[in-house]
């Protein structure tokens, strides 16, 4: 069974562990916890009562930003990123967001494909934005317009 639960200060630590699995340079725990305050909404995806994935969204006026989306290593390849993305975009529509922004590592082909499948388009490339083990990597800025 798959469920989505809203994260809060009492239940975020298991989701933070998934965030750390999904990033070579994860946020610190205090930064992650700050994403549970006003203007943010964060959800965890539970599969058979186990934390399997998460997303963090920031909502300001009529624009949303997908701050993070991740699926735990043991749960990848099951389409769970689509469940998370569909839930996030439905939340954006319910909150009357005009557009959604995100940034992604240029090397993250799977994520780029997911975002393009939902209609996101590349707007900009930030050269050498992300730190890597071997140097730096570009960030692709992507945007989805939800309505006028």
Q: What is the pLDDT of residues 130-147, one digit of tens each?
A: 988 889 999 999 999 997
Number of domains comprising the chain: 1
Please give the pLDDT value at position 24: 85
Please give the pLDDT value at position 87: 98
Give the mean pLDDT of the chain. 95
Please give the pLDDT value at position 148: 64
How far apart are alpha carbons 72 and 1 in whole angstroms? Answer: 16
Q: What is the pLDDT of residues 70-104, one digit of tens each?
A: 999 999 999 999 999 999 999 999 999 999 999 99
pLDDT bin (cut points 50, 70, 90) of residue 19 is very high
Nearest CA to 111 out of 144, 85, 73 is that of: 85
Please give the pLDDT value at position 81: 97
For the residues 17-37, what does the mean pLDDT come to?
Answer: 94
Please give the pLDDT value at position 18: 96
Pairing of strands 121-132, 135-145: antiparallel
The set of catalytic residues is 103, 115
Please give the pLDDT value at position 94: 97
CB of 125 closer than 8 Å to CB of 142: no
Using DSSP's 3-state secondary structure scheme, residue 85 falls into helix
Domain region containing 23: 2-145
Please give the pLDDT value at position 1: 85
Q: What is the pLDDT of residues 30-59, one digit of tens each?
A: 999 999 999 999 999 999 999 999 999 999
Percentage of residues in the chain with pLDDT exceeding 90?
A: 89
Please give the pLDDT value at position 134: 87
Kindly state the tokens that stand for 5. Answer: 């639960």
Domain of 120, CATH number, reads 3.40.630.30
């Amino acid at each position: 069974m798959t469920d989505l639960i809203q994260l809060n200060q009492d239940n975020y630590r298991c989701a933070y562990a998934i965030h750390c699995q999904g990033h070579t340079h994860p946020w610190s725990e205090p930064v992650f916890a700050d994403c549970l305050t006003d203007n943010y909404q964060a959800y965890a995806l539970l599969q058979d009562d186990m934390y399997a994935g998460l997303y963090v969204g920031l909502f300001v006026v009529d624009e949303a930003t997908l701050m993070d989306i991740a699926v735990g290593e043991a749960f990848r390849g099951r389409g769970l990123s689509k469940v998370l993305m569909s839930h996030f975009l439905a939340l954006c529509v319910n909150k009357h967001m005009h557009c959604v922004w995100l940034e992604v590592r240029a090397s993250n082909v799977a994520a780029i494909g997911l975002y393009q499948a939902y209609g996101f388009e590349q707007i900009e490339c930030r050269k050498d934005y992300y730190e890597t083990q071997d140097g730096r990597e570009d960030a692709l800025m992507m945007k989805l317009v939800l309505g006028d």
